[in-house]
């Protein structure tokens, strides 16, 4: 009886979060330079699938479909991706302070983007370079952890810190050599994160990574739950611990590195949102992962709406998530400690 009641409560919470996502999605179209009603937004989107006689100005269709729609979808996907990545890493390492960049993905991607910028690369080349070097950083950290620590999560974390420091040093060198008039400001702004250049092609790049990663995490959700109790306990339950670790790292890395390559480095989302999700649904990974993704998407979308609502200047996304995330994290500490204990 109690189990059925808890399941019903969980389903109700998911319905509420789903409604919140839909509401936030459509309200986000109202934010920006051009004033557009919800009805016009709905009809423009609907016109791509059914026959609708256009009654709106052509520029509004461009704004909705080419500017606001991809940015809104990216905010939902990236916020959700970073949050579920953080929740997965925190569960794997059994550490509430772990974030998606624990294995050096952000430092590697930052170096890759900066390297492309000082060579006057195009936007897609900057994204590709960030993607490649972010993947290299995590791969190197994983190999170091495997070679010197076997299956030790502590050695893996230390390897991530070492790799991150290495790429941060390379990034410092690149910033020193960069042109102070054009290249250095671009590098600095990219490192602070932004969805301002988000496009439909970025959405198409993001979707396969998110779908594949979520599918892998969903398939192994019960094994990840078992692993959260300890490796010895999980082994006695028949869980292939090395395989589950590899799946978590692979999936979390995949969505994190793609997210970072698209929008730059966005801190605190992957650390704070999983704690909020734990307060909502508890620490069971199968429930935590779903709620983290939904809450993270709405959280980042709201932050981006605040940025778009400020006229005359576009603040870096990572700066605002830090400004909001740090006090929220402090408020969550006392209650989150009880959940983790």
| One pLDDT digit (tens) per residue for the chain, 341 residues | 556 777 888 889 999 999 999 999 999 999 988 888 889 999 999 988 888 888 888 888 999 999 999 999 999 999 999 999 999 998 888 877 788 888 889 999 999 999 999 998 888 899 899 999 999 999 999 899 888 876 677 888 889 999 999 999 999 999 998 888 888 888 888 888 889 888 999 999 899 999 999 999 999 998 998 887 777 788 888 888 889 988 998 899 899 999 998 998 888 898 889 989 988 888 889 899 999 999 999 999 999 999 988 877 778 888 888 888 788 777 776 665 555 45
Would you state the pLDDT for residue 110? 92
Would you state the pLDDT for residue 35? 83
Would you state the pLDDT for residue 334? 64
Would you state the pLDDT for residue 171? 93
Burial class of residue 149, CB neighbours in 10 A (0-12, 13-18, 19+): middle
Would you state the pLDDT for residue 66? 92
> What is the pTM assigned to this prediction?
0.90
Rounded-to-integer distance, Cα 233 and Cα 152, Å: 16
Would you state the pLDDT for residue 247? 92
Would you state the pLDDT for residue 152? 75
Would you state the pLDDT for residue 289? 92
Would you state the pLDDT for residue 190? 87
DSSP H helices, the chain, are: 2-27, 38-46, 58-62, 69-93, 105-118, 123-149, 153-177, 183-191, 200-219, 221-227, 231-236, 241-263, 269-281, 285-309, 317-340
Would you state the pLDDT for residue 146? 83
What CA–CA distances, in Å, run from 30 to 18, 85, 324?
20, 30, 22
Which residues make Cβ contacts (< 8 Å) with residue 105, sequence separation at least 6? 134, 135, 137, 138, 253, 256, 257, 260
What CA–CA distances, in Å, run from 96 to 4, 60, 92, 318?
29, 44, 10, 20
């Amino acid at each position: 009886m109690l189990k059925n009641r808890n399941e019903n409560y969980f389903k109700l919470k998911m319905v509420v979060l789903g409604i919140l996502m839909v509401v936030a999605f459509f309200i986000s179209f109202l934010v920006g330079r051009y004033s557009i009603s919800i009805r016009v937004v709905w009809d423009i989107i609907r016109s791509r699938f059914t026959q609708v006689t256009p009654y709106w100005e052509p520029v509004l269709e461009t704004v909705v479909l080419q500017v606001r729609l991809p940015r809104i979808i990216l905010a939902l996907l990236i916020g959700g991706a970073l949050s579920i990545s953080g929740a997965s890493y925190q569960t794997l390492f059994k550490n509430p302070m772990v974030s998606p960049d624990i294995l050096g993905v952000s430092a590697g991607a930052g170096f890759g983007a900066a390297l492309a910028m000082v060579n006057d690369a195009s936007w897609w080349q900057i994204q590709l370079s960030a993607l490649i070097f972010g993947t290299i950083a995590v791969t190197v950290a994983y190999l170091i952890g495997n070679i010197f620590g076997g299956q030790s999560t502590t050695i893996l974390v230390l390897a991530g810190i070492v790799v991150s420091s290495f790429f941060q040093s390379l990034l410092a060198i690149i910033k020193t050599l960069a042109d102070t008039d054009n290249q250095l400001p671009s590098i600095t702004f990219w490192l602070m994160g932004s969805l301002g250049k988000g496009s439909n092609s970025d959405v198409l790049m993001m979707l396969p990574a998110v779908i594949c990663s979520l599918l892998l995490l969903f398939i192994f959700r019960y094994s990840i739950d078992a692993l959260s109790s300890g490796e010895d306990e999980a082994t006695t339950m028949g869980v292939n611990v090395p395989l589950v670790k590899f799946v978590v790292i692979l999936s979390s890395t995949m969505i994190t590195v793609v997210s970072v390559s698209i929008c730059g480095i966005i801190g605190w989302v992957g650390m704070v949102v999983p704690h909020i999700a734990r307060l909502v649904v508890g620490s069971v990974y199968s429930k935590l992962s779903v709620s983290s993704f939904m809450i993270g998407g709405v959280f980042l979308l709201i932050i981006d709406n605040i940025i778009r609502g400020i006229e005359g200047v576009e603040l870096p996304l990572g700066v605002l998530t830090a400004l909001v995330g740090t006090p929220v994290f402090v408020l969550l500490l006392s209650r989150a400690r009880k959940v983790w204990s």
